Structure 1
């Protein structure tokens, strides 16, 4: 007999007031270009939650707005004020992934806890850790995430009303024999913690962005554009600049780069193209932080379009100057080889080229006034990447 997978629900606690913003709930504080609550809902949606319950003590207008925005992804989000109400509204026979009040974490932690087939508690043995919330035993403290069953909510609902909902849930989970999953050091370094202040969340925002950039494989993204985006994005968030602004800036710079190149200013065009790529990389990082992976991929595809237009425009300008078709052939060859390399389903190696790397490679030659040499370099780099990708597939087979 086939066992049907149980539905997954989320339970987010949002009761505490911000330590440095009286009257504001921690969940309504800004984080990653959204509010902390929206970020937590995004994490739950990313691991397949079909429903999210938000446990509150009171509701502010800012918090209601955050809930409304978080629900635009068609996820069922409901406010609950007690364990009894949560037990009534939770999906029947669901597993429930619980996030502590003020929790900041990352996708790998959520994926690990969501994949656990039994009741589980994320724990840390460092009582001074910013992730340590409440002591479970002589050794471990709860680190902000629990996986329980919906039946546990009904059990808590029978307790006296003066019980703290979050603490009672933790105790019931511990008494049920929940597996204790240790908080990995890499997760802590990536920003997993509990914060109750706007200042603390801003610091965690930087850590989470760093973790996102460290997931990038290729050198140009990991060491140049993603690192630059880590600096730019918090500035945009702090100034409440909308998330479409870097994309518009990147698009305008991209058009300017092509126009400058066609006008014969290849060095200027290459520099402006790098600014365009930075704007697009910032937009992609923001989309990834919000869990909008398809949108992030579309933005990254725009970087490839930028590279293609720039390389062809340079090939055309050099063709006009030399009166030979060789520059156009080099540009076309680089573009086709790079496109094929990026479509090969092989694990990426650090040195491999992509559109961002090609822009960085070509720019010095254009600035030095030798774009033809840059076209040759781009062609060779794309060909080397394609050859390595094909060889990787052969080795795997």
Structure 2
């Protein structure tokens, strides 16, 4: 069982009346973002350590509870020890820490009593020194027993610092901070302007987390530019989905009227919107809507390929293009059912559509369908070989 302990005690740098944890970050508060990372790492219970409760903090906690996790506000180590499950592995996030999903997953997967550390004491990632060579990077995986130990200390001890000291004295293991997390802006931030800048860096890292070549080379650059603007303007996810639906519907209508090139371009634009909308949904904690948009990407790509084959067959007066489109659709459907993700060249629904698009624009739709079908067969063959080796 994984539980989370988030510290939210320090005021913002230029707003002493506000907690740094309640400052805006990525379309939510920093506290909500931290909780989102813990939930993604498997946490089912959350504790928020506070010195004072503000309306903004209560609002953030209420929104976190809507994501299906229990959240307790604790004011001391005694309260935290009483609330924590005795067998839980507790993932600790330091006050005002900006980090990435990769870093949180890494510490959550570590054995209990592990501190994430860095050797660079001059970076914002350095929270507090733990020995001559390492400083704490703000993440830890601890047992409930550590909370009980700090609960027995005098009440004037700083909860976060005391917990770190007890862990170090108990011989906690050390895990180095991933380099990707440092590049994404991992560190303690309490100034609103700096937090906005870090937010953009984390959003860019989120967009870069996708591995398929269409995402990496086509859709990720678009998302990297669009996400910070959408977050800053508070664009709702439903608006992105509505825009994608309009483009997809327009594309389908154009292809039915045999304007294949224009229709396929519109469908590709719809896929780009859905790709960005999926990341935005994930960021805001709406995993279900993110999955729906990923499914919609595959559906839009499949529809585009099938309609391309149908319209081309109408124009050519034979069934060649339609048969190729059906073969492509079947190969992709089977390959996707394997649920295997391979190397960078591996095909995906959006990849086949991007392969097809330049041929359609050049007037050689049938050739594009043939090449896309061969690409899908190569991906399917590789997936079968992987399954055979696992069997």
Q: TM-score of the superposition, structure 2-length normalised?
A: 0.92
Structure 1 position 179 matched with structure 2 position 186: no
- Identify the residue that residue 249 of structure 1 maps to in structure 2: 243
Q: Secondary structure at the match of 1:353?
A: coil
Q: Deviations over 1:271-302 (max 9, x none)?
A: 21121011100112123334655543332121
Flag structure 2 segments of 5+ consecutive residues without an equivalent.
Answer: none
CA contact (8 A) 1:327 1:375 kept: yes
Q: In the alignment, which of 5, 19, 28 is matched to residue 11 of structure 1?
A: 5
- Identify the residue that residue 201 of structure 2 maps to in structure 1: 207
CA contact (8 A) 2:97 2:189 kept: yes
- Identify the residue that residue 3 of structure 1 maps to in structure 2: none
When residues 319 and 211 of structure 1 are mapped into structure 2, their CA distance, relative to the original with a 3 A threshold, is same
Q: Deviations over 1:106-135 (max 9, x none)?
A: 233223322333412111111111110112
Determine the C-alpha separation between the residues in 2 that align with 1:85 and 1:385: 54
Q: In the alignment, which of 378, 386, 390 is matched to residue 372 of structure 2?
A: 378
- Identify the residue that residue 272 of structure 2 maps to in structure 1: 278
Flag structure 1 segments of 5+ consecutive residues without an equivalent.
Answer: 1-6
When residues 347 and 271 of structure 1 are mapped into structure 2, their CA distance, relative to the original with a 3 A threshold, is closer
- Identify the residue that residue 313 of structure 1 maps to in structure 2: 307
- Identify the residue that residue 58 of structure 1 maps to in structure 2: 52
Determine the C-alpha separation between the residues in 1 that align with 2:241 and 2:321: 31
Determine the C-alpha separation between the residues in 1 that align with 2:351 and 2:214: 5
When residues 173 and 342 of structure 1 are mapped into structure 2, their CA distance, relative to the original with a 3 A threshold, is same
Q: Secondary structure at the match of 2:17?
A: strand
- Identify the residue that residue 230 of structure 2 maps to in structure 1: 236
Alignment of 1:185-196 (within 5 A): 185-196=179-190
Q: In the alignment, which of 126, 136, 141 is matched to residue 135 of structure 2?
A: 141
- Identify the residue that residue 283 of structure 2 maps to in structure 1: 289
Residue 68 (structure 1) shift:
0.7
Determine the C-alpha separation between the residues in 2 that align with 1:157 and 1:344: 50
Residue 142 (structure 1) shift:
1.1
Q: Secondary structure at the match of 2:155?
A: coil
- Identify the residue that residue 79 of structure 2 maps to in structure 1: 85
Residue 396 (structure 1) shift:
5.5
- Identify the residue that residue 150 of structure 1 maps to in structure 2: 144
Residue 345 (structure 1) shift:
4.6
Residue 305 (structure 1) shift:
0.6
Q: Secondary structure at the match of 2:138?
A: strand
Residue 252 (structure 1) shift:
1.5
When residues 249 and 135 of structure 1 are mapped into structure 2, their CA distance, relative to the original with a 3 A threshold, is same
Q: Secondary structure at the match of 1:19?
A: coil
Q: Secondary structure at the match of 2:120?
A: coil
In the alignment of these two chains, the number of paired residues is 391
Q: In the alignment, which of 157, 168, 174 is matched to residue 162 of structure 2?
A: 168
Residue 347 (structure 1) shift:
4.0
Residue 179 (structure 1) shift:
1.5
When residues 332 and 93 of structure 1 are mapped into structure 2, their CA distance, relative to the original with a 3 A threshold, is closer
Q: Secondary structure at the match of 2:369?
A: helix
- Identify the residue that residue 264 of structure 1 maps to in structure 2: 258
Q: TM-score of the superposition, structure 1-length normalised?
A: 0.90
Q: Secondary structure at the match of 2:107?
A: helix
Q: Deviations over 1:184-236 (max 9, x none)?
A: 32332243222212333333333333433444232111221122112211110
Q: Secondary structure at the match of 1:12?
A: strand
CA contact (8 A) 2:77 2:159 kept: yes
- Identify the residue that residue 4 of structure 1 maps to in structure 2: none
Alignment of 1:71-110 (within 5 A): 71-110=65-104
Alignment of 1:28-67 (within 5 A): 28-67=22-61
CA contact (8 A) 1:104 1:194 kept: yes
